[in-house]
Structure 1
Amino acid sequence: MLQETVKTLRDLIAYPTVSADSNLDMIAYLAARLEAAGARVDILRNAAGTKANIWATLGPDTDGGIVLSGHTDVVPVEDQPWSSDPFQMTERDGRLYGRGSCDMKGFIAACLAAAPALAKGAQRRPIHFAFTYDEETGCFGARHLVAELKQRGLKPAIAIIGEPTEMRVIEGHKGCYEYTTEFTGCAGHGSAPDLGVNAVEYAARFVGRLLGLAEQLKARTPQGSRFEPPWTTINVGQMNGGVAHNVIAPTAKLWWEMRPVLRADADFVKSDLKGYVENILLPAMRAVDPETDITTRIEGEVAGLEPVDQNAARDLVARLTGANGADVVAFGTEAGLFQALDIDTVVCGPGSIAQAHQADEYVEISQLEACLDMLSRLAGAPG
């Protein structure tokens, strides 16, 4: 299977599925390969028809079963010092180089190579393949997919998300919630600040509230949290606004994020900010000009994967890989979306996250071999 995996990975890397572009050509390739292995394949397009998820099933048409999930999109390569064509796989020193090689087309290639063996082992328990779009920009494809599963009443038992973990078993990661907050003030001459509404000043007050919340979140650290740092974090990524040093700033924009350990922390932050804006900031702004405003746009709210005591996915993958325990990681995945459907979920896949998004991204061949070993054992596992 290794030779077939390498060949398949070469094919997948050649599809330049950067998130800004369509993934439909790669989806067609995946569909053909899965259908050839005997899977029933659904192609689920986005509203614009420019991108799609794949949901494919081997074995009986029943509840339960195991999902093997990965995303098809990759991050851009512009302004990165690649030593070879990022969309042509090259092999050097036991490594396979190319954009997406570890994040996460290596896992997808292993799944395709293992599909015929998985089909033979799926007589009593279905094996599902979920390959999504736009994970890198907000997990939009996975959100679309899990909504479709919910609408159809489909309930797999276990989900394995093949993000690069060096085949370590990962049972938890923080969420990633990203926002853009825009401030509309009232321009005027800088010599008369009371006659206008300075959007930059109100943005700064909003940032101050965020920093205060960040400190409060440290006190909400769950007992025994294994994350580093162990509490929910807030980061102000970018702020800009205004037009000149002597003009009351008419607009400002703020990009910020939080990484919640618990969903309750995200609710706490959003509720506090809503009250602060509606009861403090907006009344002060609109006392000068009723047309002023503050709006927050959700760029993406990707739930974390919360470690739980009972997790059949963690226990299964630990048996398949021989792992003695499970870890948590800082980076985000689509796992929390599956967990929100009450599917036992774990993250485990080939490659290192340290290589993801980097120039000369690679996956080690030995990592693909370890992944294939896991999938081969899964094919032979009892239903």
Structure 2
Amino acid sequence: MSPDLISPEPATPDLLDVLDPIDLLRTLIAIDSVNPDLVPGAAGEARIATWCAEWLAERGFEVHRLEERPGRPSIVGVFRGTGAGRSLMLNGHLDTVGVATYTGDPFTAEERDGRIFGRGSFDMLGGVAAILVAAARASASGPDGARLAGDVIVTLVADEEFGSLGTEEVLRHFRADAAIIAEPSGLELTLAHRGFAWFELELEGVAAHGSQPERGVDAIQHAALVFTALDGLRDRLESTAPHPTLGHGTVRVSMISGGDDAATVAAACTLTLERRMLPGEPPEHVEAELRELLDALAATVPDFAYRLDRLVARAAFEADVAWPIVEALQSSATRVLGRAPAHRGEPFWTDAGLILEAGIPCLVFGVDGGGAHADEEWAEVASVRQLAATLEGTLRDFCS
């Protein structure tokens, strides 16, 4: 299914001269875009995607609506350059997490003490607002009529908070020479983050009366052996040299269930395992690592039987500091901030992993603030404006 094209409208000076990302952020926060895969029945991205599509079209962007999954649209806005320069993709997600426990009104963008509050302000509608403003400013012709040589590609995606179906769909249709993912990073350059893999482990036992456990096979007892084996794996991971910004990989049991009643030997026990990986640890490697551990138990423990299924896996991400996009963003950020931005790594995963996997050099750079997924969320107002200015400068440098 090809993306739907929304015809652009000519940009007029009044639409370009006065663009404040905080004004946009207030509007975006007021639009409920809670991910329905996280909260059944939630609003999703349809309304906010339509608003962003219209905003981009009014400013002369060629706008595409991608919606392979009905009700979960992503928007791609393209401003064509003259054809002689590099293209740059700016990526941000439109969905937010739930608001059931949010303190106050999550959709009223209250501003106080230099912060703007509301669900998504930090993660990551502040980044979306900055992307929109930066793309519009950079795409506008200068006083001499000069235009960017390369294409500006704005990708505003669905579902980053759950399955990343939006970025996956975008990457099936659009390419770029480089990309910036505007996830919140405290105005620091995120050059690496961990990957993750989730597994379901089913341990198979044999039921028996609790008064005669020797007649059964206790799957919960076998689960205890798995915990001990995972402790050994954790020790091995922590004994290696740490990654400069990510530290060590991790492994843990995140959920466990088993047994039928107090008087019966457990015939089954199910564990959900989470493995956080470093660059250079592909999902296939960590799955093989777990199977080796479980096979060792099966070879030494009588009646130990298991089934391991990989639920989802995303590789780690690491950028090269010598990439032109890293150099361009660092240079622009230094001009805007008056200092060189720090480099950092993140323990969590972002869509940068998918973008790099698609062969597009990229990095993460976003606003300062706090409260992601928490009961109160905010973005630092100054950082949203600084992000917009930094992205604008990067577009002008990289795409010229």
TM-score (norm 2): 0.82
Q: Which residue of 2 aligns with 1:337?
A: 354
Q: Does 1:217 align with 2:237?
A: yes
Trace 1:116-265 onto structure 2 (pairs within 5 A): 116-120=136-140, 123-146=148-171, 148-149=172-173, 154-221=174-241, 225-228=243-246, 230-264=247-281
Q: Does 1:310 align with 2:322?
A: yes
Tell me if the contact between 1:188 and 1:248 (Cα under 8 Å) persists in the aligned partners: yes
Q: Which residue of 1 aligns with 2:14?
A: none
Residue 3 of structure 1 and its aligned partner are, at CA, apart by 6.0
Cα distance in 2 for partners of 1:220, 1:267 equals: 20
- Candidates 307, 320, 323, aligned match of 1:294: 307
- Candidates 30, 34, 37, aligned match of 2:59: 37
Residue 87 of structure 1 and its aligned partner are, at CA, apart by 1.5
Greater displacement, 276-285 / 16-25: 276-285
Tell me if the contact between 1:138 and 1:302 (Cα under 8 Å) persists in the aligned partners: no
Percentage of pairs with the same residue? 26
Cα distance in 1 for partners of 2:27, 2:299 equals: 54
Residue 60 of structure 1 and its aligned partner are, at CA, apart by 4.1
Q: Which residue of 2 aligns with 1:104?
A: 124
- Between the two proteins, the alignment pairs up a number of residues equal to 366
Residue 206 of structure 1 and its aligned partner are, at CA, apart by 2.9
Tell me if the contact between 1:260 and 1:304 (Cα under 8 Å) persists in the aligned partners: yes
Q: Does 1:377 align with 2:393?
A: yes
Amino acid at match of 1:200: I
Cα distance in 2 for partners of 1:324, 1:112 equals: 22
Cα distance in 1 for partners of 2:68, 2:227 equals: 35
Cα distance in 1 for partners of 2:86, 2:200 equals: 39
Cα distance in 2 for partners of 1:303, 1:260 equals: 7
Amino acid at match of 2:244: R
Cα distance in 1 for partners of 2:219, 2:165 equals: 31
Cα shift readout 1:295-335 (whole Å, capped 9, x = no counterpart): 4241x323222143532222111011002552223232111
* Moved segments of 4+, more than 6 Å: 282-285
Cα distance in 2 for partners of 1:36, 1:217 equals: 52
Cα distance in 1 for partners of 2:63, 2:313 equals: 28
Amino acid at match of 1:177: A
Cα distance in 2 for partners of 1:283, 1:43 equals: 56
Residue 340 of structure 1 and its aligned partner are, at CA, apart by 1.3
- Candidates 93, 115, 122, aligned match of 1:95: 115
Q: What's the secondary structure of 1:320's corresponding residue? A: helix
Cα distance in 1 for partners of 2:24, 2:230 equals: 46
- Shift of the 190–348 alpha-carbon distance from structure 1 to 2, 3 Å rule, reads same
- Shift of the 90–127 alpha-carbon distance from structure 1 to 2, 3 Å rule, reads same
- Shift of the 330–61 alpha-carbon distance from structure 1 to 2, 3 Å rule, reads farther
Q: What's the secondary structure of 1:259's corresponding residue? A: strand
Q: What's the secondary structure of 1:11's corresponding residue? A: helix
- Shift of the 358–58 alpha-carbon distance from structure 1 to 2, 3 Å rule, reads same
- Shift of the 265–51 alpha-carbon distance from structure 1 to 2, 3 Å rule, reads closer
Q: What's the secondary structure of 2:317's corresponding residue? A: coil
Cα distance in 2 for partners of 1:11, 1:176 equals: 34
Q: What's the secondary structure of 2:33's corresponding residue? A: coil
Residue 127 of structure 1 and its aligned partner are, at CA, apart by 0.9
Amino acid at match of 2:77: A
Q: What's the secondary structure of 1:159's corresponding residue? A: strand
Cα distance in 1 for partners of 2:298, 2:101 equals: 40
Tell me if the contact between 1:200 and 1:241 (Cα under 8 Å) persists in the aligned partners: yes
Q: Which residue of 2 aligns with 1:270?
A: 287
Tell me if the contact between 2:21 and 2:130 (Cα under 8 Å) persists in the aligned partners: yes
Q: Does 1:27 align with 2:52?
A: no
Q: What's the secondary structure of 1:248's corresponding residue? A: coil
Root mean square deviation of aligned Cα: 2.8
- Candidates 368, 378, 385, aligned match of 1:351: 368
Greater displacement, 311-320 / 114-123: 114-123
Q: What's the secondary structure of 1:69's corresponding residue? A: strand
- Shift of the 145–215 alpha-carbon distance from structure 1 to 2, 3 Å rule, reads farther
Tell me if the contact between 1:133 and 1:142 (Cα under 8 Å) persists in the aligned partners: yes
Residue 347 of structure 1 and its aligned partner are, at CA, apart by 0.7
Q: What's the secondary structure of 2:170's corresponding residue? A: helix
Tell me if the contact between 2:82 and 2:149 (Cα under 8 Å) persists in the aligned partners: no
Cα distance in 1 for partners of 2:205, 2:216 equals: 7
